[in-house]
Structure 1
Amino acid sequence: MTEARSLAEAPGPRGHWFWGSIQERRHHPLQLFLDAHQQFGDLVRLRMGPAISLVSVASPELVKHVLVDNPTVYGKPPSLLASAAPLVGNGLFSSDGDFWKRQRRLMQPAFHKERLAGLTHLMVDSTQHMLSRWQARSSASEPLDLAAEMMRLTLAIVGRALFSTDVSGTADRVGQALAVALEGTNHRLLSLGLRAPDFVPTSRNRAFRDALSTLDSVVFDIIARRRAGETHGNDLLAMLMAAQDADTGERMTDQQLRDETMTLFLAGHETTANALAWMWHLLAQHPEVEARARAEVESTLQGRPPTFEDLPRLRYLTQIFEETLRLYPPAWIFARLAKKEDVLGGVRIPASPRVIVVTSPYVVHRNPRVWPEPERFDPDRFSPERSAERPRLAWLPFGAGQRLCIGNNFALMEAPLITASVLQRFRLRSVPGHAVRPEPLITLRPKGGLPMLVEPLHAQA
């Protein structure tokens, strides 16, 4: 048996003698990880200055070891959780241990497919409202920012799904506060501690604090009115309020409800919107895929709005979304910290806050050993036959293991319904000369938005 190598012996780029690869990580992270794995294999070490090392893994087998087989060894880094805590509190994203298990157990029934089926009508209804607004535009020659449009749409859907409340209006302070809070959280995550402390009244800190105050007041008010019986709804909030721990009989406190609904608010809004934006970009670049998708919609729906019962017959639309998630996974990187020493891919991983194990779905999804011609957009990769041939963790846009995203079924139901509704009424085209580039922040979004030409298929009646 081969003895494990030390971390210092792990393969990886040398980088700058002092800074290592920190500048590349800051300015070109996707290319840094792709190039490193292409040159050095499925496990690479990247130095981030003199003290920090990233250990990046890019094979389904190593991903399984970290995310699935050893959840008690690899936990989320405290620095990551501290950055997100002001916004999501102690919700599913940031909690750990027994408390996380209890909350997950309480929330899981609300996300069973049968429960989510009752929400599909509001997904379609919100989309139809957006399309009517598009139809009423005075000129189709003016581009629309599809990234912003998808953000607005998914915010409307998740607001109605969570609270039976539409929070998406442009005059509504919630949408603006959410955008500021997300930007502030992103800045915290990427600043590596080099930022003004919270108590310093910088313009960024004040804006972040005001945004959190707005969101808290809205969410707590919704919870209070629901508890008082002033509002009703067969929504996720009602399910969470009714949820009872099977062992203790406990229900969630108002603070727990706030933290969990805020987590779901963000996860069900930002990530899905980015994936949908990338999907429209890819469809515009591949008219043969769009034509096949449109044909599936026409033959399945014959002009009527899509329903939950149609989803099994809109299989190609689902494959398009799955292939989009392969090429542009919104959660493009996961970070873990070893709580105790481990051996990973023949390399000893110390239990140290200075060694962070990362998995980038963006890179795993481009592993040529698993994905032939990885940069090619090919929704048929996700046909049942071809999917059965692949390792299960070759595709992980929703994470893996016990911390698999609780809303994965929500997104996989929402996307085909939105896609079908749009294709029935519009054709989306790229703006000539506009370069679309990914921006890897907390999520992978199109840099500077995604202007597109939105052409009605039929003249307004």
Structure 2
Amino acid sequence: MTEALTLAEAPGPRGHWFWGSIQERRHQPLQLFLRAHQEYGDLVRLRMGPTISLVSVASPELVKHVLVDHPDVYGKPPRLFAPAAPLLGNGLISSDGDFWKRQRRLMQPAFHRERLAGLTHLMVDSTQRMLARWRARPSSSEPLDIAAEMMRLTLGIVGRALFSTDVSGTADRVGQALGAALEGTNHRMLSLGLRAPDFLPTARNRAYRDAISILDTVVYDIIARRRAGETHGDDLLSMLMAAQDADTGERMTDQQLRDETMTLFLAGHETTANGLAWMWHLLSHHPEVEARARAEVESALQGRPPTVEDLPRLRYLTQLFEETMRLYPPAWIVGRMAKKEDVLGGVRIPASPRVIIVTSPYVVHRNPRVWPDPERFDPDRFSPERSAERPRLAYLPFGGGQRLCIGNNFALMEAPLITAAVLQHFRLRAVAGHVPEPEPSITLRPKNGLPMLVEPLQARA
């Protein structure tokens, strides 16, 4: 039996003699991970300075070992999520262990497909409001930032689904505060500790604290009024408040409700919005795919607004969104830490907070052994026949294993319904000369937005 390699013997780029690959990780992480795996194989070690190592895995088999086969060994690394604590608290994204299991068990019923189906009318209604706003523009010759439009749309949907309240308006302080909090959290997570300490009253620190304070005030007020019976709603908040531990009878505290609400705000709008923005970009450059998608919409809907009952007839739209998330997975990197020593891909992994196991769906989704011609945009990769041939962990836009994103069904209902409604009335075209660049922040967003021309179909007589 082959002796396992030590971590120091694991393959990977040498990088700078002292800093390793830390500068590339900060400035060009997608290229760093892709290049490292192309050169060194499915498992690579990347040094981040003199003491931190990233062990990146890019094959379905190694991903399965970490996320599915050994969830008791590989947990959430506190180092990665500490910068996001002011915003996310101890919500589902950042919590771990028995507390995470309890919270997941309490929240799961609120995300059953039958319950989510009752929220789909909000998705369509919010989209129709956006389309009405687009029609009211004085001219369609001026580009719109589609990344911002999708963000505003999905924020409105998740606000109504959570609280029965639309928070998407540009003048609304919740929408503004959430944007500032996300920007601040992104800066904190990417700074790798090289930032001003929280106690210093820098402009960035003050803006971040102010945004968190506004969000806390608003959310706690909504919770208090709901508990007092002053407001009512058939929404996710009411389901979370009613959730009761089967063993202890306990319900979530206000703090837990606040943390899970913030987590759902982030996961429920930022990721889907970025996926939709990239989808419109890809459609504008693949007219044959757009024509097929539009034909499916016309055949399935016959001119009426989409409903949840139409989703089985909008299968190609779902494949379109799935292929977009293969090329541009919103959650582009996943981190774990070994709680006890393990052997992974022939390398001995120590139980140390200084060794982070990472999986980048962006890289896994480009593994040529699983995805032939991986850079080609082809929604037919997700036909039922071709999907059945692939290893399960070859595709993980929502993560994998027991920590599969709780909102995956919400997104897979929301995206086709939004797409169908837009395709019925508009054509989105790329702005000549603009080449969007992926920005790997908390999510994989188009850097500096995504300007596109939004053209009403009736104008094409």
Offset at residue 48 of structure 1 (A): 1.3
Q: TM-score, normalised by structure 2?
A: 0.99
Alignment partners' CA distance in 1, 2:435 and 2:215: 35
Partner of 2:311: 311
Offset at residue 13 of structure 1 (A): 1.1
Partner of 2:271: 271
Deviations along 1:371-395, whole A, 9 cap, x unmatched? 0000000000000000000000000
Partner of 2:14: 14
Q: Specify the code of the residue in structure 2 equivalent to 1:435.
A: V
Q: TM-score, normalised by structure 1?
A: 0.99
Partner of 1:195: 195
Alignment partners' CA distance in 1, 2:169 and 2:22: 40
Alignment partners' CA distance in 2, 1:19 and 1:212: 33
Are the aligned partners of 2:79 and 2:353 in contact in 1 as well (CA < 8 Å)?
no
Are the aligned partners of 2:147 and 2:449 in contact in 1 as well (CA < 8 Å)?
yes
Offset at residue 459 of structure 1 (A): 4.9
Alignment partners' CA distance in 1, 2:201 and 2:18: 34
Partner of 2:406: 406
Are the aligned partners of 2:20 and 2:49 in contact in 1 as well (CA < 8 Å)?
yes
Are the aligned partners of 2:76 and 2:95 in contact in 1 as well (CA < 8 Å)?
no
Alignment partners' CA distance in 2, 1:243 and 1:352: 36
Alignment partners' CA distance in 2, 1:49 and 1:94: 25
Q: Specify the code of the residue in structure 2 equivalent to 1:169.
A: G
Partner of 2:229: 229
Partner of 1:255: 255
Alignment partners' CA distance in 2, 1:37 and 1:200: 40
Offset at residue 81 of structure 1 (A): 2.2
Alignment partners' CA distance in 1, 2:360 and 2:282: 21
Offset at residue 46 of structure 1 (A): 0.9
Q: Specify the code of the residue in structure 2 equivalent to 1:268.
A: G
Partner of 1:239: 239
Partner of 2:212: 212
Alignment partners' CA distance in 1, 2:284 and 2:402: 36
Partner of 2:444: 444
Alignment partners' CA distance in 1, 2:121 and 2:346: 50
Deviations along 1:166-205, whole A, 9 cap, x unmatched? 1111110111101110111111111122222211111011
Partner of 2:302: 302
Aligned residues: 460
Partner of 1:2: 2
Q: Specify the code of the residue in structure 2 equivalent to 1:440.
A: P
Q: Specify the code of the residue in structure 2 equivalent to 1:32.
A: L
Alignment partners' CA distance in 2, 1:51 and 1:7: 12
Alignment partners' CA distance in 2, 1:399 and 1:327: 15
Alignment partners' CA distance in 2, 1:128 and 1:110: 25
Where do 5+ consecutive residues of structure 2 fail to align? none
- The RMSD of aligned alpha carbons is 0.9
Partner of 1:146: 146
Partner of 2:165: 165
The alignment status of 1:119 with 2:119, answered yes or no, reads yes
Partner of 1:67: 67
TM alignment of 1:414-453, pairs within 5 A: 414-453=414-453
Alignment partners' CA distance in 1, 2:260 and 2:51: 35
Quick check: 98-107 or 365-374, which moved more? 98-107
TM alignment of 1:346-365, pairs within 5 A: 346-365=346-365
Partner of 1:133: 133
Partner of 2:174: 174
Deviations along 1:99-134, whole A, 9 cap, x unmatched? 111110010000000000000000000000000000
Offset at residue 331 of structure 1 (A): 0.5
Q: Specify the code of the residue in structure 1 equivalent to 2:16.
A: H
Q: Specify the code of the residue in structure 1 equivalent to 2:160.
A: R
Alignment partners' CA distance in 1, 2:407 and 2:297: 25
Q: Specify the code of the residue in structure 2 equivalent to 1:98.
A: D
Where do 5+ consecutive residues of structure 1 fail to align? none
Q: Specify the code of the residue in structure 1 equivalent to 2:145.
A: D
Q: Specify the code of the residue in structure 1 equivalent to 2:313.
A: R
Q: After TM superposition, where is structure 1 displaced by more than 2 Å over at least 4 residues in a row?
A: none
Alignment partners' CA distance in 2, 1:58 and 1:301: 40
Partner of 1:183: 183
Partner of 1:81: 81
Alignment partners' CA distance in 2, 1:90 and 1:46: 29
Partner of 2:23: 23
Alignment partners' CA distance in 2, 1:52 and 1:227: 46
